[in-house]
Amino acid sequence: MAELLGGDAATLDTIVEAAWKDCCLETGPGYVAYHCALLSKQPLGVQRRLIRRGIAHLWPGLRDIDYETVDKALRFLQTSSRSRECDLAAGLRLFQEGDRLWLAAWEADLPHADWPRIPAGIQHALAIPGQVELEGSWNLRAELMPAEPELIQQALHNTEMYQVWLDRQSLTLPLTIRSRLPGDRFQPLGMEGHSLKLADFMINTRMPSRARSGWPLIFSGNQIVWVPGFRIGNPFAIRQTTSQLVKLVLQR
């Protein structure tokens, strides 16, 4: 029996080690980052061991990682609504950013993801055509194009989250780039002309909370033209009367 159990344990350890390499994206002082989708696909027993291993990594001296703590973490992972943050145990928290599940100490200094950002108080003017260098080696480029049928079709079927096509006639130049300010509102395409608070839009689209204050926004006058990675403003969408296109591309 001891030999059988030992063999089973060795097999399970091998499985968990492989799963850890797949599911654990990053570790550092006070934090572990899992890939939500890959972690969710693991057998329940393996999920439990991966969570326990993460906790043990953060608190090597913590011997009592009880069932309730691990189960609480798995319920957070599996809940479709997914609360933005969960107070786990022993000074640890869980929260989700995109498809990344963070297990971290409350005081941990977490690394920034590779999202675009612009410091508060900084504003850039963007000519068309033209380009602007942003923080973190990001670059925003603007091009002016004729509204040819092929380009219109390309624009309407665009799936790239960091590029858009806009109606030139609707834009007031130069465009400006800045981060959000209190009171900013947005009129997203698809809301039939209705506007909402920019803060609510960011929450509704599940923009990572740490990214919201520095996310670059493109303005025409005092109206938001584009929230890169998410949506363009309804007043600036391509229309039947569009004669010129403006293509914006944000890239590293």
Q: What is the pLDDT of residue 63?
A: 66
Q: Decide if pLDDT at 154 tops 80.
A: yes
- Kindly give, in sequence order, each residue whose CB lies less than 8 Å from that of residue 111, ignoring residues fewer than 6 positions away: 26, 28
**Mean pLDDT computed over 89-117:** 86
Q: Is 235 helix (H, G, I), strand (E, B) or coil?
A: helix
Query: Domain locations in the chain?
Result: 2-105, 124-251
CB 234 within 8 A of CB 224: no
d(CA 106, CA 23): 22
How distant, in Å, are the alpha carbons of 31, 58, 60, 97 from that of 91?
12, 10, 14, 20
Residue type, 192: E
Q: Decide if pLDDT at 112 tops 90.
A: no
pLDDT tens for each residue of 50-83: 999 999 999 887 667 788 999 999 999 888 545 5
Q: What is the pLDDT of residue 226?
A: 97
List the one residue out of 223, 242, 250, 230 whose CA is nearest residue 167: 242
Percent of the chain predicted with pLDDT > 70: 94
DSSP-derived letter for residue 223 is E
Q: Which of 57-66, 88-97, 171-180 has the highest mean pLDDT?
A: 171-180
**Under CATH, what is the fold of the domain 124-251?**
Phenylalanyl-tRNA Synthetase; Chain B, domain 3 (3.50.40)
pLDDT band at residue 196, thresholds of 50, 70 and 90? very high
Q: What CATH number does the domain located at 2-105 have? A: 1.20.59.20
Count of Cβ atoms closer than 10 Å to residue 47 Cβ: 22
- Helix axis angle for 67-78 and 44-58, nearest 10°, is 110
Q: What is the pLDDT of residue 118?
A: 93
**Mean pLDDT computed over 185-207:** 90
pLDDT tens for each residue of 197-245: 999 999 888 788 888 999 999 999 999 999 999 999 999 999 989 999 9
Q: What is the pLDDT of residue 181?
A: 96
